[in-house]
């Protein structure tokens, strides 16, 4: 049968997780916590399962959860959104990204992504008949972390550009946006009909007292923006696959037009549990940065005396390590060899890029118990 995605192999996360399992390696490749969620969240899920919340949820999500999302968005980002018309609960952020792209992108439209880019964007653009344009995040002398080259973005926009996809805090590099970046984005897109898709699944995992610059904070950008987030990352429940999309009502209407055919609605008891838990523990997402900052610091301390070089991640639960001083092998082969020979699985950063990124880089997930991080780092320090 002819493939609609002939150039897309199996997701690198599935490939490396399979290899890690086959080799009995420590899996720092796929981004999921090794620990359980808060016991109270599990009890709430149990309660709602037994209280009869077992039939279809409303297409847009259970009202209590939409109201909790609206409250959080107002509290954290100062944006008042309408829980009835501007929020939809999705089947994980993945479905939110997919449905947004299907809603916005048509045949021949161009979509700009920034490399290294999360791997689900391009297949969704291709299925919508669009063309993905990859712009590299750059490193410059005055700003030595990966960032957007605004001039390059301005020059890349043309009459076919329909959508720009952003992801900050960024997987895999861990870099974040500044308030100046939001203004620069507003300037570049002003007087265009370009939409923005902001993948903010790591919105609550940001370090060193930095504030997350959600596109919801910016009056001008908000008018053209779909924001997607994931409860999986925030509440240590990646396997629940519950996320959400927020957007101004006219955009959200089109989003729902796709969402209703993609999955219609999302697992009911877990939505109720998340709604209750968000209301009961607003401190959870406020404390999450510190929780993961400690893990980042622990992992970075553990590998500091290795031959890897790195800049500590500013956000996400990933740390990129550069192995240029250890090997000249390419990152794909090297990550496979590390998995097989020393028993630590990672993700090669080049798979997220059209052009190879500078250096030789692997992404390690530090959302793991300290004992796992210690064992993995011990092996990495032997290289």
Q: What letter would DSSP give residue 226?
A: E
List residues bridging with 196 in a β-sheet.
164, 225
- Written as one string, the DSSP assignment of 249-281 is HHHHHHHHHHHHHHTSS--HHHHHHHHHHHHH-
Least separation in angstroms between CB 383 and ligand PLP: 26
Q: Give CA separation, 315 vs 91, 109, 303, 320, in Å.
A: 24, 31, 18, 11
**Nearest approach, Cβ of residue 170 and ligand PLP (Å):** 8
Q: Where are the alpha helices (DSSP H) in the chain?
A: 12-23, 39-50, 63-77, 92-104, 121-127, 150-156, 179-189, 219-222, 231-234, 249-262, 268-280, 283-303, 331-341, 370-380
Task: Report CA-CA distances (Å) from 270 to 8, 45, 277, 281, 292.
Answer: 32, 6, 10, 16, 24
| Omega of the bond leading into 169 within 30 degrees of 0 (cis) | yes
Cβ proximity to ligand PLP, 229 vs 306, nearer residue = 229
Pick the closer one to ligand PLP by CB: 238 or 335. Answer: 238
Q: Which residue is nearest to ligand PLP (CB)?
A: 92
CB of 202 to ligand PLP, least distance (A): 7
CA 92 to chain centre: 11
Question: In angstroms, what is the minimal distance from the CB of 174 to ligand PLP?
Answer: 11
Residues 6+ apart with CB under 8 A from 6: none
The nearest distance, CB 45 to ligand PLP, in angstroms, is 17
Question: By C-beta, is 102 or 230 nearer to ligand PLP?
Answer: 230
CB of 90 to ligand PLP, least distance (A): 8
Choose between 93 and 302: whose C-beta lies nearer to ligand PLP: 93
Cα 139 → chain centroid:
21
92/289 with CB nearer ligand PLP: 92
CB of 20 vs ligand PLP, minimal distance in Å:
16
- Coil, helix or strand at residue 171: coil
| First vs last C-alpha separation in the chain | 45
Please give the residue ranges that form the binding site for ligand PLP (CB under 6 A): 31, 92-94, 118, 167, 171, 199, 201, 230, 232, 238, 241, 243
Q: Map tokens 């990124």 to a residue.
A: 357
| Nearest one of 364, 312, 362, 354 to 144, comparing CA atoms | 312
For ligand PLP, give the closer residue by CB, 121 or 302.
121
**Maximum distance among all alpha carbons in the chain?**
59
**For ligand PLP, which is the closer residue by CB, 218 or 363?**
363
Q: Which of 306/335 has CB closer to ligand PLP?
A: 335
Q: Minimum distance from CB of 30 to ligand PLP (Å)?
A: 8
Q: Min. distance of Cβ 280 from ligand PLP in angstroms?
A: 22
Is-contact 210 202, C-beta < 8 A?
no
Rank residues 118 and 207 by Cβ distance to ligand PLP and give the closer one.
118
């Amino acid at each position: 049968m002819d493939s609609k995605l002939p150039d897309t192999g199996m997701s690198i996360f599935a490939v490396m997780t399979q290899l890690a399992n086959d080799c009995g390696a420590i899996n720092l490749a796929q981004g999921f916590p090794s620990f359980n969620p808060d016991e109270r969240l599990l009890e709430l899920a149990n309660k709602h399962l037994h209280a009869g919340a077992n039939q279809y949820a409303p297409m847009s999500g259970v009202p209590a959860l939409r109201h909790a999302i609206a409250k959080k968005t107002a509290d954290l980002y100062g944006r008042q959104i309408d829980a009835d018309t501007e929020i939809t609960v999705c089947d994980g952020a993945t479905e939110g990204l997919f449905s947004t792209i299907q809603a916005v992108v048509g045949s021949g439209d161009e979509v700009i992504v920034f490399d290294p880019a999360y791997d689900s964007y391009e297949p969704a653009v291709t299925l919508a008949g669009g063309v993905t344009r990859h712009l590299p995040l750059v490193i410059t002398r005055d700003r030595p972390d990966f960032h957007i080259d605004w001039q390059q973005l301005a020059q890349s926009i043309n009459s076919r550009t329909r959508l720009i996809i952003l992801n900050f805090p960024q997987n895999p590099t861990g870099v974040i946006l500044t308030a100046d970046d939001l203004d620069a984005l507003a300037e570049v897109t002003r007087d265009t009909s370009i939409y923005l898709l902001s993948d903010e699944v790591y919105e609550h995992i940001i370090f060193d007292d930095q504030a997350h610059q959600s596109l919801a904070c910016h009056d001008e950008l908000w008018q053209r923006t779909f924001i997607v987030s994931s409860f999986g990352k925030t509440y240590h429940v990646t396997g629940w696959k519950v996320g959400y999309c927020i957007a101004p009502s006219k955009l959200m209407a089109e989003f729902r037009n796709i969402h209703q055919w993609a999955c219609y609605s999302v697992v009911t008891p877990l939505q109720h549990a998340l709604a209750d838990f968000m209301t009961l523990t607003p401190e959870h997402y406020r404390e999450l940065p510190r929780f993961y900052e400690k893990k980042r610091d622990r992992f970075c301390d553990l590998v500091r005396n290795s031959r890897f070089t790195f800049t500590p991640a500013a956000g996400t639960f990933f740390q990129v390590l550069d192995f240029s001083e250890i090997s000249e092998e390419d990152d794909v082969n090297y990550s496979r060899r590390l998995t097989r020979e020393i028993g630590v699985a990672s993700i090669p950063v080049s798979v997220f890029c059209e052009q190879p990124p500078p250096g030789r880089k692997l992404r390690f997930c530090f959302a793991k118990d300290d004992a796992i991080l210690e064992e993995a780092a011990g092996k990495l320090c032997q290289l």
